[in-house]
Amino acid sequence: MNPYNIDDPVLSLIGQTSLVEHPKNLLGDLHLKLEKENPTGSMKDRIGLGMILEMRESGEISDGDLVIEASSGNTAGAVALAANRLGHDSIITTPEKTSPQKMGFVKAFGSELVTCPDVNSDHKDHYRAKAQQIADKRGGIFLNQYHNQLNPKVHEKWTGPELWNQTNKLTHIVCPMGTGGTLSGIGKYIKNQDPSVNIIGVDAKKSNISTSFYDKEPVKYDTKIEGLGKGGETPTMWFDYIDEIISVKDEEAIQWAKKAAREDGLLIGTSAGAAFKIAYNIANENENASVVSIVCDGGEQYFDTLNYM
Ligand SMILES: Cc1ncc(COP(=O)(O)O)c(C=O)c1O
């Protein structure tokens, strides 16, 4: 099922994540895809590895090249791990507000961490601008998950078929969106198998993925939910394969992540909580629904929010 020929025992741990049935007796079916099972705890392990392998294959990255990525979250650790195992030095740029847990992966795997001020994306010191400047100066390769088409393509090649093979009946997929790579890649693969499956993206309330999708006036981007939402559309959002984008308030995302832990013993992250709310309601209102909700990462990364807010 893994599209890449990996002979490394550590990198072989990526993918083939569980699809667990929701334990309550709902009207329809609900399953959760536990991407938290990946080695650094999120689905970003797939693109960390996949982008580097594809770019090595195409000659854009050569043996020993310096690899650079900009990330405020899970991609940081994912790239640090893949680079470590594939023999590349790596540098990760992050905004200052990135959680210590996520920066921890970067340091642990021996990647260089460059923290940047929390400034607007058009500022020269923004963490994405910084990544490009470092790449130019030190002759490294900037992966750039926000623009790199390999981000959704890796999910199209890998997560989509894996999920399709794990399901007998599928009516809806619900997935949080940031770069949009996960949902876009899964969505394209699934639509090609069965165009009737509803591909549903989840955005933060004060975010501009949904305003862009529905051609509405942008709002001021502001969310506490890590990984969820974006200031505007990016080229990694393949809207052609997405049917609907639903916005969820920060408090609801947290409340539903808490509910999954307390009521169902499922420790899911807060962006996954937002998707869980939408997926649960669809499954509970339609007896013919067979819904898959993507759990991008686990609640163990957010105990400060889940237990104290
Ligand atoms: C916890 C979490 N949820 C959702 C997302 C969004 O995933 P994507 O960027 O593939 O849309 C991310 C991305 O970093 C994330 O870290």
Structure tokens at 308: 């104290």
Same domain, 208 and 186: yes
Same domain, 163 and 293: yes
Q: For residue 3, tell me if it sits in a domain.
A: no
CA atoms within 13 A on the CB side of 98: 25
Residues forming a β-bridge with 198: 172
Asked whether 176 lines ligand 1 (CB < 6 A), one says yes
Domain count across the chain: 2
Q: Any residues with CB less than 8 A from the CB of 130 and at least 6 apart, and which?
A: 70, 93, 114, 116
Q: What is the CATH number of the domain that holds 56?
A: 3.40.50.1100
Domain finish residue from 142, 160, 194: 142
For residue 270, report the distance from its CA to the centre of ligand 1, in Å.
Answer: 11
Average pLDDT over residues 243-248: 98
Query: How far from 184 is each of 69, 86, 88, 98, CA to CA, in Å?
Result: 20, 27, 28, 25
Cβ neighbour number for residue 124 with a 10 Å cutoff: 8
- Domain boundaries, position 81: 45-142
Nearest alpha carbon to residue 60 among 128, 141, 132: 141
Q: For residue 215, tell me if it sits in a domain.
A: yes
Structure tokens at 288: 């013919």
Asked whether 175 lines ligand 1 (CB < 6 A), one says no
pTM for this predicted structure: 0.97
Q: For residue 2, tell me if it sits in a domain.
A: no
> Could you report the per-residue pLDDT of 195-218, keeping only the tens digit for each?
999 999 999 999 999 999 999 999
Query: Residue whose CA is closest, atom 14 of ligand 1?
Result: 227
Same domain, 269 and 175: yes
Q: What pLDDT shows up at residue 234?
A: 96
Asked whether 40 lines ligand 1 (CB < 6 A), one says no
Is the pLDDT at 258 greater than 80? The verdict is yes
Same domain, 172 and 231: yes
Nearest alpha carbon to residue 85 among 29, 162, 6: 6
> Could you report the per-residue pLDDT of 148-199, keeping only the tens digit for each?
999 999 999 999 999 999 999 999 999 999 999 999 999 999 999 999 999 9
Asked whether 39 lines ligand 1 (CB < 6 A), one says no
> Could you report the per-residue pLDDT of 60-119, keeping only the tens digit for each?
999 999 999 999 889 999 999 999 999 999 999 999 888 888 889 999 999 999 999 988
Nearest alpha carbon to residue 51 among 126, 138, 137, 158: 158
CA–CA separation, 199 and 78 (whole Å): 25
Q: For residue 1, tell me if it sits in a domain.
A: no
